[in-house]
Amino acid sequence: MAEGLEVALTDLQSSWNNVQHHTDEISSSRLLVRRGQAFNITLYFRNRAFQPGLDNIIFVTETGPLPDLSKGTRAVFSLEGHPGSSPWIASLQTIGANSLEVSLCAPPMAAVGRYLLTVHIKSLQGPVTAYQLGEFILLFNPWCPEDAVYLESEPQRQEYVMNDYGFIYQGNKNWIRPCPWNYGQFEENIIDICLELLDKSLNFQIDPATDCALRGSPVYISRVVSAMINSNDDNGVLNGNWGENYSDGTNPTEWMGSVAILKQWHATGCQPVRYGQCWVFAAVTCTVMRCLGIPTRVITNFNSGHDTDGNLIIDEYYDNTGRILENKKKDSVWNFHVWNECWMARNDLPPGFGGWQVLDATPQETSNGLYCCGPASVRAIKEGEVDLNYDTAFAFSMVNADCMAWLVFGGKEQKLHQDTSTVGNFISTKSIQSDERDDITENYKYREGSLQERQVFLKALQKLKAGRSPGSLRTESQPRSVPLSDSPRSLATPSLQPSDVVQVSLKFQLLDSPDMGQDIRFVLLALNMSPQFKDLRVNLSAQSLLHDGSPLLPFWQDTAFITLSPEEAKTYPCKITYSQYSQYLSTDKLIRISALGEEKNSPEKILVKKIITLAYPSIVINVLGAAIVNQPLSIQVVFSNPLSEQVEDCVLTVEGSGLFRRQQRVLIGVLKPHHRASLTLETIPFKSGQRQIQANLRSNKFKDIKGYTNVYIGL
């Protein structure tokens, strides 16, 4: 009688499997596979060859702390294969003298995460023996047509899953600048930190069995990740800070990669990292989602609405000097706001709303009791279907809300005008396999002023008035005292602009590029479009803004008296010196200039405003010589102090996935006024292919002088 078959060792074929499953960038020694795609393992036997019909081999896979067949977190499937008994598949590949190669395949809806693989062998009349074959990690599979995250285009898969660097667009709508970012989703330990993040979620803490069972759904995973990237409800990754004091942490503008943030969170026992703002939350979300296998990109919306009361109107208040006042209702327009789009099917929604979904980890409002937002279908946002899950109404307001400007004077509020086109401009993301910017505004909204855009706005407004369905609207939003029907926007009536009434237009125009350390020179252009003389008094002011639109106190004011003949244009020159703005500037480097004009003997007011983002000179990075994997490489970094004053505590930070195993920090110390310096770093690239090097210089006077260069690492 044949003796029982004994397993001596197992080859999980990690190196070969990982290449086939596009996970070899993560590791060649650990098995990381994608669902819906077969992977091969080899069993080596101690005593004899495998004999079909005599030996019965059964595989068991388990994930989570409470594996359960009924929940799909435990699977039992045999090599013989009884169709329908398990969605997991095992099939025989080759039989050797003392070995057996087997192909295994997880179903395309299996829960992602860490799995234990066990084999049970029963030989004829012998006892059943069990062997633990090892662990593997199962990920989403955008290459598999049956997976909910399937993405048909290979260039898109390379960009939105495999690319480990990119750009986040910042600045303002008139001055859009790319900020380089190291996503680093395949760096050492990042996959483990991503799985730890799922295990630290409130859902897992409350009911780990159900949480693990739901991890096959990209909709569920995206909501968990959205909540866990911020720390408002849990020990999430990042603490948000929109103030001016970052002394007990890192200024959000200093970060240039996700790896350092995730590793710090892990190393401190999952204590939230200080500090993040919207682009940091979105960048870390992108790293986690790409690592798990969900196609993800980072989106910037310029002039982004934050409508706290759900009426699609954002109120802004001004005093008679033209300065913006702190908003008592906390509505605001952010200079720019950054979120993510993740690609997935939406079987929980009516047909046609799959594809790109908005996911926003920045803690703004709660959703079903937690600070998370999305996934909200981009198509649903464009069509005004604000009652669809999740948080579509809030996402709609970020790109479509109207702005109402009010003059506060003598204890009263006077409506200046309602602007229907300010919010939601130049919605941007990095192009596919290119460093260019893609404008995707048309994905979110019909053309401003078009009939379709008006119809969608009214549809959304009516749905908001009709009722608030749970989960689709922010839970703590309260109706405001002004009824929704007060909105003057309708299909027939375009929004009222000040020039429609007073026939005078005001406009700011910069004379030079607004560089940090230089005076800001600009003019106010006044144009009389009427056949009458106009006497204008214009109050001008400048104040710093924080990134979320919160105003600081004015530091510059002026009054202009302008007389205009019929159809005459005049310019009024203005200058704000560096000494006037330097000590009032926040680290966001935003200055808002505004002018409030009033015509003599007329109650009408004209408001004009402009946001200026001050620019720094970029760091220059030069790669010296050929870049070859596992060969020494010299990198020259050239930087300068742009100010006409000495700066201290200078630190240069350099990083780049595949080039540096950890951030390089160099203490520079003091830089004299306008001093230019350079240093050379040595490294040994450990990954081939297209890579990016990012650098940041901070001091006691500035925090985020940045630079980058792309480099191809040859084999």
Q: How many CB atoms lie within 10 A of CB 85?
A: 12
Phi and psi (nearest 5°) for 33?
Answer: -125, 165
Task: Provide the Cα torsion 561, 566, 568, 571; round to 10°.
Answer: 10
Phi and psi (nearest 5°) for 602?
Answer: -140, 140
Q: How many CB atoms lie within 10 A of CB 553?
A: 8
Q: How many CB atoms lie within 10 A of CB 529?
A: 15
* 387 annotated as a binding-site residue: no
Q: Measured between alpha carbons, how far is 524 from 535 in angstroms, rounded to an integer?
A: 15
* 400 annotated as a binding-site residue: yes
Residue 101's contacts (CB-CB under 8 Å, 6 or more residues apart) are 40, 41, 42, 93, 94, 95
Please pick, among 194, 212, 278, 403, the residue that the annotation labels catalytic: 278
Residue 270 bears catalytic tag: no
Q: Measured between alpha carbons, how far is 691 from 19 in angstroms, rounded to an integer?
A: 19
The residue assigned the tokens 């350099």 is: 654
* 453 annotated as a binding-site residue: yes
Residue 417 bears catalytic tag: no
Q: Measured between alpha carbons, how far is 324 from 318 in angstroms, rounded to an integer?
A: 4
Q: 435 with 178: CB under 8 angstroms?
A: yes
Q: How many CB atoms lie within 10 A of CB 501?
A: 15
Please pick, among 309, 360, 391, 548, the residue that the annotation labels catalytic: 360
Which two structure tokens, joined as six digits, stand for 419? 């602007």
Task: Provide the Cα torsion 294, 298, 299, 305; round to 10°.
Answer: 90
Residue 337 bears catalytic tag: yes
Q: Measured between alpha carbons, how far is 273 from 254 in angstroms, rounded to an integer?
A: 13
Please pick, among 22, 337, 417, 547, the residue that the annotation labels catalytic: 337
3 state SS for 205-253: HHCHHHHHHHHHCHHHHHHHHHHHHECCCCCCCEEECCCCCCCCCCCHH
Catalytic residues: 278, 337, 360
Q: Which residues are annotated as a binding site?
A: 400, 402, 448, 453
Known binding-site residue numbers for Ca(2+): 400, 402, 448, 453
